[in-house]
């Protein structure tokens, strides 16, 4: 990850990342393999590899994964998600912010703070 002057702040934005992913793909003529189905399956498979980092681990061991592997698996998941969004003309920033707003309505702070109750069971 490119960092801003050592301040541990990522440099770049979603558009820059998406352009880099598309350029990487296009240089290899891989768009032909990037159907919606295959991008979604790739995302799911990579999410499974991410989950594998935590499988059978408890407590501190689960909270302290190998950061290099965690970063690699997260990058794979995020990359597939960005490619799928781009394929369908979805603005990643917009859809994530819309989802946060939707969740804020489902999980108002006064009802949801400090618990993991599903929104339809909040009282």
Global confidence as pTM: 0.85
- Domain annotation for the chain: domains and CATH numbers: 14-89 (1.10.287.1080), 91-123 (no CATH)
pLDDT score of 11 more than 80: no
Model confidence band, residue 5 (pLDDT cutoffs 50, 70, 90): very low
pLDDT in tens, 108-123: 999 999 999 998 888 8
Distance CA 92, CA 95 (A): 5
| Average pLDDT value for the chain | 92
Q: Tell me which residue has tokens 């965690």.
A: 70
Task: State the Cα–Cα distance between residues 30 and 13, nearest whole angstrom.
Answer: 23
- Region of residue 122 (phi > 0: left; psi between -120 and 50: alpha; otherwise: beta): beta
For residue range 28-64, list pLDDT tens digits in order.
999 999 999 999 999 999 999 999 999 999 999 999 9
Name the 3-class secondary structure at 10.
Answer: strand
d(CA 106, CA 118): 9
């Amino acid at each position: 990850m490119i960092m801003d002057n050592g301040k541990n702040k990522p440099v770049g934005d979603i558009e820059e990342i998406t352009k880099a992913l598309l350029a990487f793909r296009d240089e290899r003529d891989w768009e032909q393999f990037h159907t919606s189905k295959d991008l979604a399956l790739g995302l799911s498979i990579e999410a499974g590899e991410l989950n594998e980092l935590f499988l059978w681990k408890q407590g501190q061991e689960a909270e302290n994964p190998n950061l290099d592997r965690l970063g690699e698996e997260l990058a794979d998941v995020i990359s597939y998600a960005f490619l799928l969004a781009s394929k369908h003309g979805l603005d990643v920033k917009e859809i994530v912010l819309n989802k946060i707003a939707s969740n804020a309505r489902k999980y108002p702070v006064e009802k949801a703070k400090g618990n993991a109750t599903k929104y339809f069971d909040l009282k």
